[in-house]
Structure 1
Amino acid sequence: MRIALNASILRAPRTGIGQYLVELVQALATDPNLELQLFNGWNWQPDLPTTALPGYSRLSSLIKRCVPNAYALRRRIEQQRFERGTRDATLYHDPSLWPFTFDGPMVMTLHDLTHVHFPDTQPKDRLAAIERHAVTSVEQARHILVDSQFIGDEVRHYYGVPIERVTVAPLGCSARFHPRPSVQLTARLQSLNLQPGRYLLCVGTLEPRKNLQVVLRAYQHLPPTLREHYPLIIVGMAGWRPEQLAAPLQRALATGQVRLLGYQDDNTVAELMAGARLLLFPSLYEGFGLPVLEAMASGTPAILTRTSALPEVAGEAGTYIDAHADRACAESIQRLIEDQPYWQQKRDAGLLRAEMFSWQRCARITASVYRQVVES
C-alpha cells in the first residue's frame, strides 16, 4: 500500500504537529506492507528531512508581507507540485486542517480545534483560508484520526461527523525522554548555567493559549528564597499575538530569575525536561499536550490544568490547578519543591502513566485505519 503523506510542515522548526509527523513516519516505516512517500511542499521524497529549511520562518514572514494573497498563491503552486507524485498512491494522509485535493481516499488528522476556540491565534489570512477549507476537508475525508477522545467528541459535535468515521490514536513519547542521572545532565545544564533539579520549566509556543501569564504571576508569589534557588526557564518560539505577553514577560526577565531560552533542539529539550524539578503547563486548550507526556516519561512531575485533553494524558499523575488561579499554582509549585515524598509520588505515578503511550501504538492504529479505508 503506497501512502502519500503531506510533510510540508517540516520545512519549519518542529513544534507539536511536526514532532507527531516525524515520530509517526518512523514508526510506520517498520510496517513492511506500507510504502511511504513524503511531500515536502515542493518535491516528493522517501525519507524525512533531517532539519528544517534554513531561514524558512524569516522567508515565510517576508513573503507574507511583500506578496499579495501569499497563502493562496503558495497553495496553488503546492497543489500542482503535490499532484505530480500522487498518481499511483493508494491513500493520502494529511496531518493538518487543510489537505490538498486528491483523487482518491483521504485520511486526515485533526489535532485540535484551536481555530474554532481561539481564532486570534492565527493570522487573519490563514484563518480565513482554514475556515473556507476545513468544513469541506472534513466532509471529504474518508476517516479522521484524532489525538484524544476529547477532540474526537469535539469533531463529532462541531462538524457532525459520524462516530464510525473518527478514531482516537493517542500520541507517544520519543525514546529521548527518559529519567537521567545528574551526571549525564551536568555538561548541558552547566552550559546554560543551570543545575539538575534546581529549576522550573515551561515548554511551548509563546502564545496566549498557553497561559504563560498565570505562570509568571504564580512565580512572583513564591517566597524570595525559592525564586533565588529555582529559576523559571521558558523554552519555546514566539507564536501568534506575542505582544500580549511582551510586557509581563519583560518585567519577569528583568528580575534575572526568569529566563527565556527560545527555541531549542530536540536533545536540549529532552535534557532540560529530565533535569527540571517540575514542568508548568497550564494551557487553556490542548488536543493532547505532548510536553506533559514527555515530562512524565522523564521523571518530572507536571502542574497543569484540568482542561480539554490534558487529564486524558496525565491522569492521576498530574498536579491540577485552575487555569487562572495563580496563587494556587504557586502553592502547587512550592509543595513539589518542598514536599519530597509528594514529589516522589507524582514522579512515580508519571513514569507509570507514560508507559501507557507509545508511537508504535499510534502507528498501529493509524495503519489499521489506512487498511479499513482502502478495504471499504
Structure 2
Amino acid sequence: MRIALNARILQAPRTGIGQYVAALAMALGETPGLQLELFLGWTWSARLPEAALPGYSRWADAAKRVPGAYRIRRWLEQSAFDKGLTPRGVELYHEPTLWPLEFEGPMVMTLHDLTHVHYPQTQPRDRLAEIERRVGKGVERSRCVLTDSQHVAEEIRRHFALPADRVTVAPLGCAPRFHPRSAEAIAAPLQPLELVPGQYLICVGTLEPRKNLTLALKAYALLPERVRAHLPLVIVGMPGWRDETLNETLRKAVASGQVRLLGYQSDESLARLLAGARALLFPSLYEGFGLPVLEAMASGVPVVLTRTSSLPEVAGEAGVYVNAEDPQEMSIAIQRLVDDESFWQRCRALGLERAGAFSWQRCARITSDVYRKVLEG
C-alpha cells in the first residue's frame, strides 16, 4: 500500500493534531507492506521533519494580513501535491486535518472533534464558513472517517448522517517520553523555572474558551494561602482564540505571583513538567480525546478533570472528576490530592494502569486496517 499522508501541519510547532500526525506516521512506518509518503506543504518526503520550520508562527501571522494569502497558499499546495502523486504511485490519501486537498482516488479523513460545530463563536466568520465547506466536502468524499473517541464518532454519525461502518474509532497513544521520573532526575531541569518536583500543579492546553481554564484559576484561588504559597499553578500552552473573560482572570492570577504562564514548551520540556507535577488540572468543556490526560497518567501524575465529551473514555476510573461549572468542587479535589498521600498514590497507580491500555501501535494498526479495507472495497 502506498499512502499519502498530509503532514503539512508539521511545519508549525506541534500541538494536538501535529503530535497525532508525527506519532501515527512513526508507528505506520513499522507496518509491513505499507509505504508512507508524507506531503509537507511544498515538498514530499519519506521521513518526518525533526522540527517546525524556523519562524513559522511569525510567517503565518503575517500571511493572515495579506489579502488572498490563503487562496494563493492553497493553490501552491494543491499544485505541489498533484505533481508528487504519480511518481510516488499513491493509492490512497489520508487527510488528518479540517482542510483536505483534492484527490481523485480513495480518501480517508481523520476528524478529531466537532469544535467548529459546538463552539462556532471561537472562529472568525469567514474562516468558519471555509471550515464548514471543506469538512463537509471531505467527509462526503471519504470512504471512511477516522476519529479518536467513541463520543466523537457518535457525533459525526449524527451530524453528517453517516452509517456506522463509515466511521472508525482509533484511540490515540502516548509517546515513550511520558513516563514516571524520579525527583532527582528532573530537579535540575526544573530549577531554572523555580519549580520543585511534586510541588506545583499544571494545566496543559491552548488558551481558548472551550478549555475552560477559568474554572481551574478560580478553583486554585479558593485553595488556602498556605497551599498556594508552596504549590504554584503553571500553565503550558499557546495563545488561542480571544476570550476577554479569560484574559482578565488570567491577568489577575499571574499578577498574584502564584500562577505562571510558561507558554509553548518543547516535547521533552513538557514531558519533564508533567512528570514533576503534583496533579494535572484539565477542566475542558469539550475534547475529541484529551491527550494531556493520557500523558499525565502515563507520567504517574493524577488528573483532576471534568466528566465531559470524550474525557471519561480516556481517564476511566483513574480520573478525579469534577463539575465543569463548580470551582469549589475542583478546589476540594485538588486539596485532597495535596493532603491525602494514600489517595494520591491510589490515583497514580490507577492512572498508570489505565495509560497502559493506549498505544500508537494500536492506533496505527486500526488505521492501516482501514486503509486495507478501503483499497480492497
Shorter-normalised TM range:
over 0.9
For 2:73, give the aligned amino acid: R
The whole-number CA distance in structure 2 between the counterparts of 1:144 and 1:316 is: 29
Question: What is the aligned-residue RMSD (CA, Å)?
Answer: 0.9
Q: Which residue in the other structure is 2:319 paired with?
A: 318
The whole-number CA distance in structure 2 between the counterparts of 1:184 and 1:275 is: 10
Q: Which residue in the other structure is 2:70 paired with?
A: 71
Q: Which residue in the other structure is 1:121 paired with?
A: 122
Report the Cα offset of residue 289 of structure 1: 0.1
Instruction: Give SS of 1:349's match.
Output: helix
Matched, 1:2 2:7: no
The TM-score normalised by the length of structure 1 is: 0.98
The whole-number CA distance in structure 2 between the counterparts of 1:244 and 1:74 is: 34
Alignment of 1:43-54 (within 5 A): 43-54=43-54
> Between Structure 1 and Structure 2, how many residues are aligned?
375
**Contact persistence 1:232–1:257 (CA under 8 A):** yes
Matched, 1:30 2:30: yes
Matched, 1:18 2:18: yes
**Contact persistence 1:321–1:328 (CA under 8 A):** yes
The whole-number CA distance in structure 2 between the counterparts of 1:244 and 1:92 is: 41
Percent of aligned positions that are identical:
61
For 1:365, give the aligned amino acid: I
Matched, 1:191 2:192: yes
Instruction: Give SS of 2:145's match.
Output: strand
- Deviating 4+ runs (over 3 angstroms): none
The whole-number CA distance in structure 1 between the counterparts of 2:265 and 2:54 is: 15
Q: Which residue in the other structure is 2:288 paired with?
A: 287
Instruction: Give SS of 2:85's match.
Output: coil
Alignment of 1:209-288 (within 5 A): 209-288=210-289
The TM-score normalised by the length of structure 2 is: 0.98
**Contact persistence 1:71–1:125 (CA under 8 A):** no
Mark the CA change 1:124 to 1:60 in structure 2 (over 3 Å): closer, same or farther.
farther
The whole-number CA distance in structure 1 between the counterparts of 2:67 and 2:121 is: 21
Alignment of 1:137-148 (within 5 A): 137-148=138-149
Alignment of 1:85-124 (within 5 A): 85-87=84-86, 88-124=89-125
Instruction: Give SS of 2:48's match.
Output: coil
The whole-number CA distance in structure 2 between the counterparts of 1:178 and 1:251 is: 34
**Contact persistence 1:186–1:195 (CA under 8 A):** yes
Report the Cα offset of residue 242 of structure 1: 4.7
The whole-number CA distance in structure 1 between the counterparts of 2:184 and 2:215 is: 33
Instruction: Give SS of 1:86's match.
Output: helix
The whole-number CA distance in structure 1 between the counterparts of 2:119 and 2:148 is: 19
Instruction: Give SS of 1:84's match.
Output: helix
The whole-number CA distance in structure 2 between the counterparts of 1:159 and 1:16 is: 24
Unaligned segments of structure 2, at least 5 residues: none
For 2:292, give the aligned amino acid: P
The whole-number CA distance in structure 1 between the counterparts of 2:124 and 2:28 is: 33
Unaligned segments of structure 1, at least 5 residues: none
Q: Which residue in the other structure is 1:353 paired with?
A: 354
Provide Cα deviations, 1:14-62, integer angstroms capped at 9, x if missing partner. 0000000110000000113111111111111111111111111111111
